[in-house]
């Protein structure tokens, strides 16, 4: 604040205390009268030196306003028009910013800035894209259009975002290694004794394929071209690394490239790779054995040999844990097929532990899921929908010949429920089989470790729902790769926040709470925080910010933004 002296037409000097502030909409500096003092000649009758007195008063008022406990005076213009610019702005991004800077991601990109010779700020663009991917995901064009909805000044344009994506992609390996090293620094040496691996795919809304985006088996049963992602995760549910693959690549061949890329750089040591039946092939088993690793893979019971089916379903050898869970195991010589140095398949005999277990809860769920699938199929048949062979309605059979009478139907197929298949599958409801190299690990421990695989499946779900990784609205491969790097970073930070919260809040709740931390512009540099909740207070605890104070000046908010950057 300052003392303003205005000389009017009659020669008299009028004094008033004015305040300078930056308009949150126009971004320009404006002034506003705070206290009207009167004419200098009249004030000289009361004060020996009015100018010095009121200049000191303006200084004290400025200091008082900067105090966190200072009262705030507001003056509202009742005739003001509604602005098209957003008056409610997000402040929840400071929670992400805390962990962004804790992991020194700003340091990483600022170092690369020195050699990039780019005019735009790499760190600011990356930071913005990560924040938006968590708080309001959308295309890069959409993200750029809502920059003003955040209480932060982002200084770049849309074309800078696209150009930055190409730069980000070039540092992918170094960046993921940086996150891993910072995990060791912040949380102590990372527990990588068990690592979890799985594959999913993401679709592109394009009608054609290219060398990278290929048509394959879509997890969402879409006809669009896809890319595959193999994700490696630690036992705390925090991502370690990932790789992208062509959409038509088989899941089972993706594991080795991911492990190879991490083995030396990440100093993994001996790890036990945990994965579902899609990774259970001879080459993956052999690779882990040769590299000194272990594996815990599931195996399909319904698709197994008769000998394995009999072992799993026989009551002999099972031990009950409670009334609804039983478990048993055996160590057997197992023949696997591996690819040798000449590219030829050959058989190798290894010792493998097979752990079979039955869960009543899984049994009930399997029957419920099958009934829902059958009900849906019957509904489609009753509507007269022609169901093609090998469709997703696997419990429907279509025939041209009546098997009992030998009567040949008309050219139209006759569809009916395949009860033989239903009864056959019901035999194995609730039964699971796990194959492992860990011969000395207890049965219960093996099952418990394998159950941790749900965390990586949940991560894929988060990436497709909360983070909205797909559809990918980019065409150049380097920018597509950068898009997934941003999504990976967002997932990484959210998982770390979840871990720091002790698992008390889900990712969905964390994102909602951050979006609820918003402020409405009231007057000049004054904002009003709109909402408080237990989740918001909990986030405030882990980032060191008090979100319970209703009114904040722009100076206060700038102080919060600066404070979360300090590590």
Q: What is the pLDDT of residues 486-521, one digit of tens each?
A: 999 999 999 999 999 998 999 999 999 999 999 988
Asked if 103 and 179 count as a contact pair (C-beta separation under 8 A), the reply is: yes
* Partners of 328 in the β-ladder: 356
Closest CA relative to residue 65, chosen from 54, 77, 57: 57
Domain count, the chain: 3
pLDDT on residue 164:
93
220 and 313 assigned to the same domain: yes
Place 399 in a pLDDT band, splitting at 50, 70 and 90: low
Is residue 208 domain-shared with residue 316, that is, in the same domain?
Answer: yes
pLDDT at res. 76: 61
* Cα dist from 307 to 302, 303, 328, whole Å: 12, 11, 15
> What pLDDT was estimated at residue 69?
59
Say if residues 526 and 500 touch (Cβ distance below 8 Å).
no
pLDDT digits (tens, 9 = 90+) for 5-21: 888 877 888 888 888 77
Question: For 26-38, how does the pLDDT look when each residue is reduced to its tens digit (9 = 90+)?
Answer: 667 778 777 888 8
Same domain, 399 and 273: no
Residue 35 contacts residue 64 (beta carbons within 8 Å)? no
Query: Do residues 249 and 381 share a domain?
Result: no
Average pLDDT of the chain is 86
Strand 194-203 versus strand 272-275 pairing type: parallel
> Residue 415 belongs to what domain range?
364-426
Residues 6, 13: contact at Cβ < 8 Å? Answer: yes
At 406, is the secondary structure helix, strand, or coil? coil
Nearest to 140 by CA among 478, 463, 460, 486: 486
291 pLDDT more than 70: yes
76 within a domain of the structure (yes/no)? no
Q: Could you tell me the CA-to-CA distances from 99 to 39, 148, 493, 558 in Å, in that order?
A: 54, 22, 7, 17
CA angle centred on 163, ends 162 and 168, rounded to 5°: 95
Domain match, 467 and 332 both: yes
> Token match 């206060």: residue?
556
The verdict on 303 and 446 lying in the same domain is yes
**Residue 23 φ/ψ, nearest 5 degrees:** -65, 125
Residue 42 in domain? yes
Of the pLDDT bands very low, low, confident and very high (cuts 50, 70, 90), residue 173 is very high
Q: Is the pLDDT of residue 470 over 60?
A: yes
Residue 177 and residue 261 in contact, taking contact as beta carbons nearer than 8 Å: no
Assess whether 311 and 401 both reside in one domain. Answer: no
**Are 275 and 344 found together in one domain?**
yes
Candidates 306, 93, 271; CA nearest to 190 is: 271
- What is the pLDDT, as a whole number, of residue 330? 95
Share of the chain above pLDDT 90, in %: 49
- pLDDT at residue 266 is higher than 90: no
440 and 418 co-located in one domain: no
Residues 394 and 273 grouped into a single domain: no
Three-class SS state of 223: coil
Helix (H) or strand (E) holding 241: strand 239-246
- 453, 274 contact by CB (below 8 A): yes
- The secondary structure element, H or E, covering residue 334 is strand 325-339
More confident site: 2 or 352: 352
CB-CB contact of 257 with 477 (8 Å): no
Query: Is position 506 within any domain?
Result: no
Instruction: Identify which of 189, 150, 143 has the alpha carbon closest to the alpha carbon of residue 165.
Output: 143
Burial class of residue 372 (count of CB atoms within 10 Å of its CB; 0-12, 13-18, 19+): exposed
Residue 445 CB contacts under 8 Å (≥ 6 apart), including other chains: none
Q: For the segment 432-464, what is each residue's pLDDT rounded down to a tens digit?
A: 999 999 999 999 999 999 999 999 999 999 999
């Amino acid at each position: 604040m300052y003392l303003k002296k205005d000389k009017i037409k009659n020669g008299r000097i009028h004094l008033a205390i004015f305040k300078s502030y930056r308009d949150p909409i126009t971004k320009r500096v404006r002034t506003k009268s705070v206290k009207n003092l009167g004419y200098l000649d009249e004030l000289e009758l009361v004060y020996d030196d009015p100018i010095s007195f009121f200049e000191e008063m303006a200084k004290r008022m400025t200091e008082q306003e900067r105090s966190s406990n200072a009262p705030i005076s507001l003056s509202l213009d009742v005739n003001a028009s509604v602005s098209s610019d957003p008056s409610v702005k997000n402040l929840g991004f400071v929670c992400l910013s805390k962990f962004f800077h804790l992991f020194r991601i700003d340091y990483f990109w600022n170092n690369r800035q020195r050699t990039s010779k780019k005019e735009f700020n790499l760190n600011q663009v990356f930071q913005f894209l990560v924040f938006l991917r968590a708080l309001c995901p959308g295309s890069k064009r959409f993200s750029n259009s809502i920059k003003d909805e955040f209480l932060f000044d982002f200084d770049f344009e849309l074309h800078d975002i696209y150009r930055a994506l190409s730069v980000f992609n070039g540092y992918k390996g170094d960046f993921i290694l940086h996150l891993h090293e910072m995990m060791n620094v912040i949380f102590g040496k990372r527990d990588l004794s068990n690592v979890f691996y799985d594959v999913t795919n993401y679709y592109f809304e394009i009608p054609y394929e290219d060398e990278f985006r290929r048509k394959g088996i879509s997890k969402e049963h879409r006809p669009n071209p896809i890319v595959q992602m193999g994700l490696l995760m630690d036992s705390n549910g925090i991502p370690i690394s990932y790789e992208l693959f062509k959409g038509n690549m088989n899941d089972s061949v993706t594991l080795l490239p991911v492990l190879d890329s991490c083995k030396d750089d990440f100093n993994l040591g001996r790890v036990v790779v945990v994965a579902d039946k899609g990774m259970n092939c001879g080459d993956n088993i052999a690779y882990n054995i040769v590299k000194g690793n272990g594996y815990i893979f599931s195996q399909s019971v319904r698709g197994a040999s008769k000998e394995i089916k009999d072992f799993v379903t026989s009551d002999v050898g099972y031990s009950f844990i409670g009334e609804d869970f039983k478990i048993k195991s055996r160590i057997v010589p197992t023949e696997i097929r591996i690819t040798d140095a000449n590219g030829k398949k050959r058989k190798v005999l290894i010792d493998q532990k097979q752990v079979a277990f039955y869960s009543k809860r899984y049994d009930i769920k399997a029957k419920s899921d099958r009934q829902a699938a059958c009900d849906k199929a019957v509904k489609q048949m009753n509507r007269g929908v022609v169901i093609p062979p090998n469709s997703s309605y696997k419990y429907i059979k279509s025939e041209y010949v009546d098997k009992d009478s030998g009567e040949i139907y008309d050219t139209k197929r006759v569809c009916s429920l395949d009860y033989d298949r239903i009864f056959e599958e019901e035999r194995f409801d609730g039964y699971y089989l796990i194959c492992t190299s860990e011969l000395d690990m207890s049965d219960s421990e093996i099952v418990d470790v394998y159950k941790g695989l749900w965390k990586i499946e949940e991560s894929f779900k988060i990436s497709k729902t909360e983070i909205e990784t797909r559809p990918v609205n980019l065409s150049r491969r380097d920018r597509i790769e950068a898009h997934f790097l941003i999504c990976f970073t967002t997932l990484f930070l959210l998982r770390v926040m979840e871990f720091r919260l002790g698992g008390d809040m889900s990712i969905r709740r964390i994102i909602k709470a951050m979006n609820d931390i918003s402020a409405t512009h009231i007057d000049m540099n004054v904002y009003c925080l709109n909402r408080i909740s237990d989740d918001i207070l909990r986030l405030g605890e882990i980032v060191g910010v008090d979100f319970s104070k209703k009114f904040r000046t722009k100076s206060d908010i700038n102080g919060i933004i600066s404070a979360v950057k300090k590590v």
